[in-house]
Amino acid sequence: MPASVTPITVRKWQTLLAFIILVCLTLTACSHSSSDKDITRFDESSPENLVKTENSHSDRINSDNINIVSPDWGNAATLTAMGHAPIATGDIRVWDRWVGRPRLPAATTDIGIRYQPNAELVAQLPVDMIVDNAFYEHARSLYGDVPAQSVMFAAKGKAATWADYTEPTRALGVLINNPKMAEDYIVQSQKDIQLARQQFQQRYSKVKKIAVVQFADANNMRMYVDNSLFKVALEQMGKELVVLGEGNQWGFVPIRMGDLARLDNETCLLIIDPLSPITRAEINDSLVWQRLGYGERRCMAELPPVWIYGGMSSLVSLANNLSTVSLTGGAI
């Protein structure tokens, strides 16, 4: 032992070393304890935790207030009309231009482009279920492990039927655990359509046949045919939908303005908005349009927007729009 190091100094160093070792052992024990707790909390292989997770999710799904996100406007509109609006949908900024009614609640979140929702925004939503259809299934990964269900409003055959719209509506009722809400909405929708039928009949009893188009530009348009919702809505209103061909899977056939000459003079032409001011001006300046005589020799009207690929709510909106429309031209 060096002369400068005394027994007292050695004992001080021994005491300090023992204290340091004690502290290290304590910290290690705390660290192990904390790690054990973390493993217990996040070990997904633990049966208890799996049950807890499933029960927690089941509680939300079985509640009366299921938070639904639907990028599909048809489902979003029908859920809103039923009284169970989704907490979020896409492209809300142009909802009024293409869907019209029903109006979405002010609190509805816009998740961006419907076909490719904003992933960061979606992650912040307290969503319990996604309701979409085949057109949007590619985006389901954005919602993580949130369950997704597909509900499609579309004709199952060459001609759309009332059942093609009531059955998906009932499916929505099942998903929100409120079949009665869906059934009540179907019954009320039929009453609303029948009332609109009576009002239209009182005003335009001579109109029996109707053709429906939507302009893409001043010379090209979509004519909606038998496998579209217009077939069902007009059938419910006691009118015949006049078509110029068999439609594609979206329920329309592309035509040019000159093709309208193939319609007889008793067929009233309905133009579905939106129609831009520029396109409207170009149509009015068209010599073909002027020769067709719509608004003069032939009956026509421009209707507010209705979502073409919508559900029960679109049928009701179309009927209500017809009940208040102002037809011009022809023998009306």
Model confidence, pTM: 0.79
**Residue 224: strand pairing partners:** 252
* Residue labelled with tokens 């599909």: 72
Residue 30: per-residue pLDDT: 35
Q: What is the pLDDT of residues 232-285, one digit of tens each?
A: 999 999 999 999 998 899 999 999 999 999 999 999 999 999 999 999 999 999
CB atoms within 10 A of CB 157: 9
**DSSP state letters, 193-215:** HHHHHHHHHHH-TT--EEEEEEE
Residues 224-237, mean pLDDT to the nearest whole number: 97
Is residue 38 over pLDDT 70?
Answer: no
Name all domains of the chain by residue range, CATH numbers in brackets. 53-152 (3.40.50.1980), 183-324 (3.40.50.1980)
Helix (H) or strand (E) holding 56: helix 47-61
Greater model confidence, 56 or 193:
193
Beta strands in 71-128 (DSSP E): 88-89, 109-110
CA distance 137 to 116: 10
Residue 171 three-state SS:
helix
| Amino acid code (one letter) for 262 | R
Exposure string for 239-260, b = 16+ CB within 10 A, e = fewer: bebbbeeebeeebbbebebeeb
Output the pLDDT for position 301: 96
Per residue in 45-100, pLDDT (tens digit) is 332 332 222 333 434 444 468 999 999 999 999 999 999 999 999 999 999 999 99
Tokens 């329309």, residue located: 252
- Are the C-beta atoms of 207 and 268 separated by less than 8 Å? yes
pLDDT for res 331? 81
